[in-house]
Amino acid sequence: MASIKNNKGTIGILTGGGDVPGLNPAIRAVTFRALREGYNVIGFRRGWGGLIDIIRDKKHDNSNNFTELSKIVVNKAARTGGTFLHTSRTRPSHVVKAKVPTHLRDSYTDEVNDLTPEVIKNLDWLGVDYLIAIGGDDTLSYAVHLFKKGIKVMAIPKTMDNDVPGTDYCIGFSTCITRTIALTNSLRTAAGSHERFLVLEVFGRYAGFTAMLPTLAGAAHRCLIPEAPFNIEHLTELLSEDRRKNPSNYSIVLVSEGAKFEGGEMKFEGMEKDAFGHAKLGGIGDEVSLALKNVSPKYNNGNIVNVINQKLGYLVRCGDPDFIDSVVPTAYGNLALDLLLKGINGRMVVLKNGRYDHVPIEVVTETKKFVNVEKYYDRERLHPFYKNFEMLPLFIMTSD
């Protein structure tokens, strides 16, 4: 399937990194608008992985790496969560020897290889005029790399953690918060029945938005975030007080997966790292639970308080998108096409202060987005801080 370009041209689209609800609506929005404007649309499978594995021979079956998108296909998919194009954490500029595609192994023999030249050749062979990448800061950092190489790229921010810099909102965040609140409210019945502490580990590697917003909404008594290391004695004292004041005799803490004990480090499930250098986080909820149980007699008249410990994990990222994660991806996709039709590229579409906008794509690699602890988090209360909501944006804690 070489040189499929006709009409006005061809637009490529891909999704990378973790799956979230809202990706399929974004793909639908781009495809519908692009087809209406006279463009063909190619969907690359498995994120950047599909772009390094193409064999540039029109007789070869490359259907495992890309597919031409139609209204029928994307319209049906848009009703569901996840990404029907599939995803990966491939980083074409850093491909280890064992993962170099078979047909390229004679040309790329280093322990770590830069396959960017192959990506550029594949885009040219397919006649792709513009590439739209949907992902978090890892996926989009490679989009920045391609843009600097001369490829016409647009970026759409996606991540449950809501930590892509330059935007107040990333696709997937609203559904994540909605599910976290719902699951917490379901689990509180068990915590109340057994009069226990409830510890829920949620996503959030470097930024604590996914723990902060549900707590702000009243789902939990306390939250622990990556930006503010916590003291276990202080946490136990607060949760014990919350438990005593609660008629059902339980209390809840949300723990970001990247949270750290004072003087401690992040907890990992293993030492293996992905292509972007990240080891899989996990285990802080277990350690907090054990520590709470051990310290609890000090604040409960010498009696142990048992703990219900649950990692919410993929439960908050699976299933259908909510209202916001259906509408925002539609707006993002159309905004990306608006810009391309004006001949503009190298931008990331964003929401800032409640309005759709776009910023230079380089913001992804030039800055980081964290919770502003001094402005939004009370270290003493281990709780979101808020005083005056007047003129604040919809999601309160924004990309300052």
- DSSP-derived letter for residue 387 is S
Alpha carbons 129 and 116: distance in angstroms, whole number:
17
Q: Which parts of the chain fold into alpha helices (H)?
A: 23-36, 49-52, 71-77, 116-126, 137-148, 173-194, 209-216, 232-245, 284-295, 324-341, 363-366, 373-376
Chain centroid to Cα 250, Å, comes to: 31
Alpha carbons 217 and 384: distance in angstroms, whole number:
10
Q: 169, 351 in Cβ contact below 8 A?
A: yes
Alpha carbons 229 and 256: distance in angstroms, whole number:
11
Q: Is 357 a catalytic residue?
A: no
Q: 134, 19 in Cβ contact below 8 A?
A: no
Alpha carbons 223 and 151: distance in angstroms, whole number:
42
Which residues touch 9 (CB under 8 Å, ≥6 apart)? 39, 40, 127, 129, 130
Kind plus residue range of the DSSP H or E element containing 371: none
Rounded to the nearest 5°, which phi and psi values hold at 397?
Answer: -90, 105
Catalytic residue, candidates 129, 137, 138, 161: 161
Q: Which residues are catalytic?
A: 161
